[in-house]
A = this chain, B = another copy of it.
């Protein structure tokens, strides 16, 4: 088992000893590093009684280090990698969970919302890059045809605008959002509450296979981990913290589907909610949030979602370093770039209409955009030059 990096192995072992999100474990890791923190726990010297008890209980089931090594072996066999802080692809935004304090945290899952210790990842994209321009689309499993339609449209539209669609892989809204993104030929990430080798629910297996091929399956739990009930709620904090904003499409009254939205609100991320017919039980939860949370934003479609996440991603300079060409262009030019179709060409008249600018303004800006190699002139109009990928 020495062929694995010691700290990675320690992080995996710690996640097995205590559920992800446990504040006391995260605090020990921050203070001592993962290796020393693991030693302390295995020595029965955890500073909190309940942590000592749970570590003791888990340890009776097996040796944490051996089980972690086994998980790493298993992950390697099935092409799942472990991503830990310090890795290039570690998504720094999830560290903001450190600051998360939920005002009404009576349940364990609402108190234990510390950052993840590691991620298991399956799929061809670097995790941090996939999440850099990402929006979560989540909602009820027992969705209505209306909700499924809206989620699929949003998934499609976001992916078509080069946003990653993040969801939880569940039946209903989650699956519709993933499918919409896939049908746009875009990227989608399923954040799971179980091992990435056995994504739940089994009924979505074909969907998970497609996601693993072109997007990412992500989990805090090691391969073979079961989707225990509380894990869905533990997982939701990652969906909220890993994305630029969360859209809730349908939710029953007081349902778990609203929880991700409340996490996003607490993290000060755009928390967007799609309303629905007041006669629909699946919109009761969404309307509740809109009534109760002044920070929640009613959105009716892609344009509203882009407006919200655009504050930090779409319209504002993208935080990828100072030498990105779009950082130096003005609002009009940026509006033109945003209005360009992701695929194919567009004429100047159509482009002006989409950008909401005068044709002469568009013409004036195109040469600058050509110079910056952001657009290219073709026989039948202008086309976008795809951004070079970092990874």
Contact = CB atoms under 8 A, between A and B. Distances in A.
Nearest to A291: B298
A2 interface: no
B275 A278 contact: yes
A343 interface: no
A301 B276 contact: no
A322 B275 CA distance: 43
A146 B287 contact: no
A298 B284 CA distance: 12
A275 B291 contact: no
Count the copies: 2
B300 A150 contact: no
A45 B258 CA distance: 65
Contact of A300 (B287, B300, B304): B287
Nearest to A290: B298
Nearest to A301: B278
Contacts of A291: 297-298, 304
A274 B291 CA distance: 12
Nearest to A304: B291
Contacts of A298: 275, 287, 290-291, 298
A81 interface: no
Interface string A268-282: 000000111111000
Interface string A282-304: 01100100110000011011001
A81 B156 CA distance: 61
A101 interface: no
Interface in A221-278: 274-278
B274 A300 contact: no
A23 interface: no
Contacts of A276: 275-278
Interface in A41-94: none
Nearest to A307: B291
Interface residues of A, number: 19
Contacts of A146: 277, 279
Contacts of A198: none
A298 B291 CA distance: 6
A290 B291 CA distance: 11
A149 interface: yes
Contacts of A284: 300
A277 B278 contact: no
Contact of A149 (B149, B279, B287): B279
Interface in A330-346: none
B274 A150 contact: no
A178 B117 CA distance: 61
With most chain B CB atoms within 10 A of its CB, the pick from A149, A277, A301 is A277
Contacts of A300: 278, 284, 287
A287 B149 CA distance: 18
Contacts of A287: 275, 298, 300
A218 B291 CA distance: 34
Contacts of A304: 291
Contacts of A275: 275-276, 278, 283, 287, 290, 298
A275 B300 CA distance: 10
A287 B150 CA distance: 15
8 closest A-B pairs (Cβ-Cβ)? A275-B275, A278-B300, A287-B300, A290-B298, A291-B298, A277-B277, A146-B277, A276-B277
10 contacts: A275-B275, A275-B283, A277-B277, A278-B300, A278-B301, A284-B300, A290-B298, A291-B297, A291-B304, A298-B298
